[in-house]
Structure 1
Amino acid sequence: MKRRRREARLISVPEREWGGRLPIALVFPQKASLAYSSLGWQAVLQLLEAKSNLAVEPVFWDPDQAKLVRPAGSRGLNEYGVVAFSLTYEFDYLALLRILNVSAIPPLAVQRSSWPLIMAGGALAFLNPAPITPSVDLFWVGEAEAGLAECLTTLADIYIRNGSRSLALETVATIPGVYVPGQSPLPVRRAVHVGDRSASELVAPVTSCFTSPDAVFRDTLLLEVNRGCPHGCRFCAAGYMYRPPRLAAVEVLRERVLQAKPRKVGLVGTALTDWPDLIPFLVWLREQKVDVSLSSLRAEGVSEELLDILRGLGTRTVTLALEGSSHGLRCSMNKHVREEAFLRTVELLSRKGFNHLKIYLLVGWPGETEADWEEFGRFLQEVDLARTSGAVKRKTNLKLISLGLGCLVPKPWTPLQWAAMADEQTFKERIAMVRRSAKKIPGVQVRSDSPWLARLQGLLARGDARVHDLIHLAAANQGREQDVWADALSEWSGDPSWYLDRERGNDEVFPWEVIDLGVSRKYLRQEWEKVGARRKTPPCPSILVSGESGAGCPGCRRCGLDEWLQT
């Protein structure tokens, strides 16, 4: 008997009258269940709902049925003043074009002579907007708290006075954080929200406005603990595009929990164990009888006290990011993980009665060899010995180890923006090596990304405006997503290998450099040169919310962000 697909119940959102307001469709181009677990999209919704001159409606996309899903309102998207897309993943490009097609909105900006304006924000808007630029009228570049509402208020004034589309774009083209292709002065400076007291302070940490049983994180209040990351892993775009690293004040998060009274809290951040208030906050949550879940942890920051608290809160699964298969590759990645610290954490997890350890790894790193993965096979045996030695009364409490293998996708604004991407066969060979090593050890599972889809993501991630033709072809095709893209690639006149298989030259100008993130190209190039030498760079200096340490950007001055913040 086939299991029936359960539809996510939509959160009820009151519909606001349009009279005297700018109607905005806030589109999350994936299923509603993912939107309910997306802090960025929810932050924008909360921000815009507070403005009396804006009428905001959330809209979702069901890719299985190729239709819009809406908790309120029934007007066509072509009747709105602004259709604003939150772009998080490269495959959102396909959904954007499909949504325009089903909404009777011309897919190319040059074909549109009137409202609505098609707007895009989210991580891809300032990571690399080039592949979707022909379809978008304006991008919000950076953090929403740093002026998005003011930009839309300016558009509202023009819309309400029956101003033209061209006037609206001309007016906002010079606003900081706005990129109007063909009109904004380049490069467009990223909008970043930093506090008056310290650049290390996360002024307004985002809290989810939905706690739903249909969210990916069910019935969970998500709290942003930190933004950015001080560790500088060379593959991680978030570590560069969200600088400076900032930490939330524990008092603010406690207040959010007391207001929401959730059953469960999820702590979201790239470097949770760097937050000095982590353990006191977890103790406080336990006193409030609130369950908790955490994103991945750094082995270096895991203490026995932390694990005791997590067990007391009912946590049974812990995720550790190892990333590199060998010591040399971890140095190349700038992954600050000591093998002895990792093994000690595994032993503690077993001794404390945790059931499941998830380990993240990347395959396809530049300069990676079979010797690196042979070293990982030996290290995996040491992991098995560590969980056995940590077992209580010779019983292995850590019964399951899951290896999650990600195929490395070199991203813009990282040192790997110059790198060639591994080919599909190399990915498959590395994954097969891990599977062979895992078979020798009981209780080890291996899950991996699709090498083919990873290569496609790489094409979209570092593509230019010519890649838009590929997305346009895919949007016109029907069928399973991978088949749709495969058919489009067979029709596309471009050459994927030009984008994927060559190391970029030092002087090559990248299409994403229409944006200024604040991290200097010189610094990224220096980090790229360290990749081949397998040399590490120290993390950003320690940061404190109070700013009393005198560290953070003013005490570092390596990547150029200190001067950028002052201009």
Structure 2
Amino acid sequence: MNERLRKRIKERLEAERGTIYKDAPVRVTLAYPNTYAVAMASLGFQVVYRMFNAEPEFACERAFLEDAEYVRKGELPTYESGRRAGDCHIFGISVAFELDLVNIVRLLEAAGLEPFRDRRDAQDPVVIIGGPLTSSNPHPLRPFADVILIGDGEETVPALAEAWRNASSKTEFLDLIEGLPGVFLPDREERDPRWATARVDCLPVYSQIITPNTELPSMFLIEVERGCPRPCTFCLARVMYGPTRNADPERVLAVVPDGVEKVGLIGAALSDYPHVKYVGHKLLERGVKLAVSSIRADRVDHELAWILKEGGLRTFTIAADGPSQRLRELLKKQIKLEHLYKAARIARDLKFKGLKLYQMIGLPTETDDDITEMIEFTKELAEITPVALGISPFVPKRHTPHFNDRFAGIRVIEARLKRIQKELRKLRPRVEVRNTSAKWAWIEAVIARGGPEVGRAAYLLKDRESFSAWKTALREVGWHDPRTLPDPPEETERLELRVV
């Protein structure tokens, strides 16, 4: 192993609390197609790590694509023992984001595995892919995975482990899990399976490892609710995670270890969790700082905001999601201007640094008038408290009413972003505007609604990924979707087609 990488892994392990070191007959690699810092901020990644290690005869170790740059192809190491990541019985990948699709190809090659399922044989590990992306759209992953898990890992991981113990071969293992909730076998099935849905007594789930070397430094994460009671049409939370399940507050408090300095509460609609204030007060009494994943503007009051401020929150974060009241009603967002103004006044009264406001543009039926309304109410909010406006292009997703809506178009989105920046620039520093790329939102939209051909296109990009290269690769594999046109036309590079 490269000495620089060896030193980095050693330092990261020494900084961790909760690492599991285990030797067992069944070796599992749990890999993440991005950096260590991003992976260790993923509660789902950590929970699956703990669950596999809790199974008799199973030992699970972690690997991260980030480390591939320090080793030769095929020699990506695991953290716990330093063995080759591909030297295992089960190679699991947890993927959260559409834009990590190409990284999955890179990860498999870094571990010494053929990316394409049909090029591997019975002696290779079973490649299992799970995570939020598989619930959103598993089909671009079909060329690569032997098994795709859809839904809650609390239900699928024990079932997989039991089947493995009872199987005498890779084929028999697949036979035993075929048809189970949440199990999708790409070489045998075309349609998504029933999603696996965990029982409420599986909650809360919580961090296994605490580390300062993550996007959420030294934070102990707890998921206190799963599912969402809200009807927002653009969001997958209600569909992906099933009915709303709320963890018992005493169980939430009981899982927080002694010595933890900061707790992050997680839930799709955390402010709808009926015990959020009770849990918040109890953690403050223990001297624990507090962070939250999301707060809805229509549920904010001074008491909840005070808890968050006392817990260390400095900027108050909410989402409008629609630039106008008309569009928020179209999205069934249930947020009105009065809710946004109230949140701004609370942020001012409690002396938060300001308001962070998430917004989407490029929505169905959106016009310049909707953008005008957003600009005007942002100005009004800025008179109350400083505003950091975070803007993302709208990406239609499967399993939502917007599945067949057109992507607004790169030119349209870029023109509206330019207008917003120009008209709000004069209000700096009271207003800061940050936005994500319209071009990469287009790629995200392609992956979010694409099929196996999009996965084959991703394979062509493993050595050089760019917006232009994506368009060329999609053309090479015969992709076509009139809902997501490749706009604007650009000079594209020629990629040799290496997929059959």
For normalisation by structure 2, the TM-score amounts to 0.88
CA distance in structure 2 between the partners assigned to 1:357 and 1:22 by the alignment: 49
Match of 2:273 in 1: 275
Match of 2:206 in 1: 207
Match of 1:237 in 2: 236
Task: Read off the aligned partner of 1:489 and give its amino acid letter.
Answer: A
Whether the aligned pair in 1 keeps the contact of 2:77 and 2:84 (CA below 8 Å) is no
Match of 1:256 in 2: 255
Match of 1:445 in 2: 432
Matched, 1:498 2:497: no
Kindly state the Cα deviation for residue 50 of structure 1 after the two structures are TM-superposed. Answer: 0.8
Kindly state the Cα deviation for residue 152 of structure 1 after the two structures are TM-superposed. Answer: 2.3
Kindly state the Cα deviation for residue 63 of structure 1 after the two structures are TM-superposed. Answer: 7.2
- Give the 5 Å matches for 1:161-180: 163-180=168-185
Matched, 1:411 2:366: no
Match of 1:71 among 79, 99, 113: 79
Whether the aligned pair in 1 keeps the contact of 2:126 and 2:170 (CA below 8 Å) is yes
Task: Read off the aligned partner of 2:196 and give its amino acid letter.
Answer: A
- Give the 5 Å matches for 1:150-549: 150-158=159-167, 163-183=168-188, 187-195=192-200, 203-257=202-256, 259-385=257-383, 387=384, 398=385, 400-442=386-428, 443-475=430-462, 477-478=463-464, 481-482=465-466, 485-486=469-470, 489=473, 492-498=476-482, 500-501=484-485
Kindly state the Cα deviation for residue 303 of structure 1 after the two structures are TM-superposed. Answer: 0.6
Kindly state the Cα deviation for residue 229 of structure 1 after the two structures are TM-superposed. Answer: 1.2
Flag structure 2 segments of 5+ consecutive residues without an equivalent: 487-500
CA distance in structure 1 between the partners assigned to 2:325 and 2:260 by the alignment: 42
CA distances 1:259-318 after superposition (whole Å, capped 9, x unpaired): 343111111112111112111221111111111112231111111122223333332211
Structure 1 residues 64 and 435, CA gap change in structure 2 (3 angstroms):
farther
Whether the aligned pair in 1 keeps the contact of 2:65 and 2:110 (CA below 8 Å) is no
Match of 1:32 in 2: 36
Whether the aligned pair in 2 keeps the contact of 1:97 and 1:472 (CA below 8 Å) is yes
Structure 1 residues 186 and 236, CA gap change in structure 2 (3 angstroms):
closer
Kindly state the Cα deviation for residue 371 of structure 1 after the two structures are TM-superposed. Answer: 0.4
Kindly state the Cα deviation for residue 177 of structure 1 after the two structures are TM-superposed. Answer: 2.4
Q: Secondary structure at the match of 1:430?
A: helix
- Give the 5 Å matches for 1:46-125: 46-62=50-66, 65=69, 68=76, 70-114=78-122, 115-125=124-134
Q: Secondary structure at the match of 2:209?
A: coil
Whether the aligned pair in 2 keeps the contact of 1:54 and 1:153 (CA below 8 Å) is no
Pick 1 or 2: higher relative contact order, CA cutoff 8 A, min separation 6.
1
Task: Read off the aligned partner of 2:170 and give its amino acid letter.
Answer: R
Q: Secondary structure at the match of 2:61?
A: strand
Whether the aligned pair in 2 keeps the contact of 1:463 and 1:499 (CA below 8 Å) is no
CA distance in structure 1 between the partners assigned to 2:31 and 2:359 by the alignment: 32
Match of 1:390 in 2: none
Structure 1 residues 497 and 171, CA gap change in structure 2 (3 angstroms):
closer
CA distance in structure 1 between the partners assigned to 2:190 and 2:408 by the alignment: 36
Structure 1 residues 493 and 137, CA gap change in structure 2 (3 angstroms):
closer
Aligned length: 471
Whether the aligned pair in 1 keeps the contact of 2:264 and 2:291 (CA below 8 Å) is yes
C-alpha RMSD over aligned residues: 2.4
Kindly state the Cα deviation for residue 361 of structure 1 after the two structures are TM-superposed. Answer: 0.3
Match of 1:16 in 2: 22
CA distance in structure 2 between the partners assigned to 1:56 and 1:174 by the alignment: 25
Q: Decide which moves more: 364-373 or 437-446.
A: 437-446
Match of 1:147 in 2: 156
Q: Secondary structure at the match of 1:71?
A: coil
Q: Decide which moves more: 62-71 or 131-140.
A: 62-71
CA distances 1:70-106 after superposition (whole Å, capped 9, x unpaired): 3123333443111011121112221221122233322
Whether the aligned pair in 1 keeps the contact of 2:378 and 2:387 (CA below 8 Å) is no
Structure 1 residues 308 and 490, CA gap change in structure 2 (3 angstroms):
closer
Kindly state the Cα deviation for residue 185 of structure 1 after the two structures are TM-superposed. Answer: 8.7
Q: Decide which moves more: 490-499 or 36-45.
A: 490-499
Q: Secondary structure at the match of 2:451?
A: coil
CA distance in structure 2 between the partners assigned to 1:434 and 1:361 by the alignment: 12
CA distance in structure 2 between the partners assigned to 1:134 and 1:191 by the alignment: 22
CA distances 1:218-266 after superposition (whole Å, capped 9, x unpaired): 1111111211111121111123211211212110111012x34311111
Structure 1 residues 63 and 54, CA gap change in structure 2 (3 angstroms):
closer
Whether the aligned pair in 1 keeps the contact of 2:62 and 2:78 (CA below 8 Å) is yes
CA distance in structure 1 between the partners assigned to 2:262 and 2:316 by the alignment: 17
Structure 1 residues 327 and 466, CA gap change in structure 2 (3 angstroms):
same
Kindly state the Cα deviation for residue 212 of structure 1 after the two structures are TM-superposed. Answer: 1.0
Q: Secondary structure at the match of 1:500?
A: coil
Q: Secondary structure at the match of 2:143?
A: helix
Kindly state the Cα deviation for residue 33 of structure 1 after the two structures are TM-superposed. Answer: 1.1
Identity among equivalent pairs (%): 27
Q: Secondary structure at the match of 2:220?
A: strand
Q: Secondary structure at the match of 2:380?
A: helix
Structure 1 residues 186 and 369, CA gap change in structure 2 (3 angstroms):
closer
Structure 1 residues 240 and 98, CA gap change in structure 2 (3 angstroms):
same
Task: Read off the aligned partner of 1:113 and give its amino acid letter.
Answer: D
Q: Decide which moves more: 362-371 or 108-117.
A: 108-117
Q: Decide which moves more: 350-359 or 103-112.
A: 103-112
CA distances 1:338-366 after superposition (whole Å, capped 9, x unpaired): 21121022112112111121000001101
Kindly state the Cα deviation for residue 14 of structure 1 after the two structures are TM-superposed. Answer: 4.6
For normalisation by structure 1, the TM-score amounts to 0.78
Whether the aligned pair in 1 keeps the contact of 2:359 and 2:390 (CA below 8 Å) is yes
CA distance in structure 1 between the partners assigned to 2:341 and 2:448 by the alignment: 35
Q: Decide which moves more: 372-381 or 170-179.
A: 170-179
Q: Secondary structure at the match of 2:93?
A: strand
Structure 1 residues 187 and 210, CA gap change in structure 2 (3 angstroms):
closer
Q: Secondary structure at the match of 2:91?
A: strand
Kindly state the Cα deviation for residue 496 of structure 1 after the two structures are TM-superposed. Answer: 4.8
Kindly state the Cα deviation for residue 120 of structure 1 after the two structures are TM-superposed. Answer: 0.8
